[in-house]
Amino acid sequence: MKLAINSRSGMTRLREALESLGHEVVVNDWDWQHLVNTGVEGVLFEFSTIFNRKWQFIRLAWRLRKAGIPVVTWNVDSPWHMNRSQFKVNLLLGSGLLSGYATHSLQNTARIRKCRVFYLPNAAWVDGYNLGNHSLEQLLQKQDYRYDVSFLGNLNATDYPEHRRRVKFIRALEIFLKEQGLRTLFVDSQGLSIGQQVEIIQESRINLSCVAAADSSGVLSWGLSERCYGVPACGGFLLMDQRTHIKDDFDVPSEVAAYTDLPDCKAKIMYYLQHDAERRQILANAHHRVMLQHTYRDRAKLLAQEFAALAPKSCSPALAGKEV
């Protein structure tokens, strides 16, 4: 299948996964005539890119739909929507310009009628976030850790105000953990290499996930952040904040450790530090689940299947026999 991805970020991880499955991917082609003439069978737009280039998107999407080429967007920021108003989001989803709406969170989607809605969560980028030079068995037997609790992520609330709630949460937690005499590392991941991040994950008894940018509107997103898959892929134990879609991606409670609020987070940290065997078992189960179902290659397979299903019936013979 030949697909196009139009995105400010390039969606490199998804593109690489599609190409590894044998699909041809064109990046940031906004010429509708060229897309049609070169046989593109579907176009994926990053959700924020639609709003950043809205007039170009409207013209391109309208012509693609007229030509019978499915148009899909992927939203990994719901319900924050990159600071877009809900009115503009609803206008887009009800416009008929989209064939499909892929999203990491199905909240607020029940009323969408003009396009196909499907769950496409974040994933583990296993080319970078993996076990490295270790085996899972070695990590499960590990006794000496540098940190009891760590967090890697954006902690720059000045330049990124959507992370103010996260920074407030982290600072309050850090005070408590230091009072308990625990070794912590809460650091902004910008400037850290992937190798350095993996090392910290594997050197931490507990890795923390808390308050995503998608929560900045004050409404907790149902969706899981990329670290919810990446940390287990590295063989790290993750304590994540409770979200609706946890049950859709992991077996609860054998593959997940989750907390509801700051007091519960404190209690869960102390619990898992004292129940080492249970922590290691969850770590192992989560790693196996991620490697089985939650890599970018898995997301690419689903996306290609959705594009094939969205193709007009008249186009189906051209897609027959093509691997998706």
Residue 72 forms part of a structural domain: yes
The two structure tokens encoding residue 88: 């503009």
Query: Which alpha helices (H) appear in 54-209, and where do they start and end?
Result: 54-66, 86-93, 136-140, 164-179, 194-202
For residues 229 and 111, membership in a common domain is answered with: no
Residue 112 forms part of a structural domain: yes
Residue 127 forms part of a structural domain: no
What gap in Å lies between CA 71 and CA 62, rounded to an integer? 9
For residues 186 and 77, membership in a common domain is answered with: no
pTM value?
0.93
Coil, helix or strand at residue 47? helix
For residues 286 and 143, membership in a common domain is answered with: yes
Angstrom distances, CA of residue 121 to CA of 14, 40, 139, 229, 249: 12, 24, 27, 10, 9
Residue 161 forms part of a structural domain: yes
What's residue 314's pLDDT? 43
Domain that holds residue 287: 136-293
> Domain holding 245: CATH number?
3.40.50.2000
For residues 140 and 288, membership in a common domain is answered with: yes
Residue 9: pLDDT band with limits 50, 70, 90: confident
Residue 246 forms part of a structural domain: yes
Coil, helix or strand at residue 11? coil
Give 136's Cβ-side CA count (13 Å radius): 17
For residues 243 and 220, membership in a common domain is answered with: yes
> Domain holding 25: CATH number?
3.40.50.2300
For residues 190 and 288, membership in a common domain is answered with: yes
For residues 68 and 194, membership in a common domain is answered with: no
Averaged pLDDT for residues 46-70:
95
Residue 324 forms part of a structural domain: no
Residue 87: pLDDT band with limits 50, 70, 90: confident
For residues 32 and 145, membership in a common domain is answered with: no
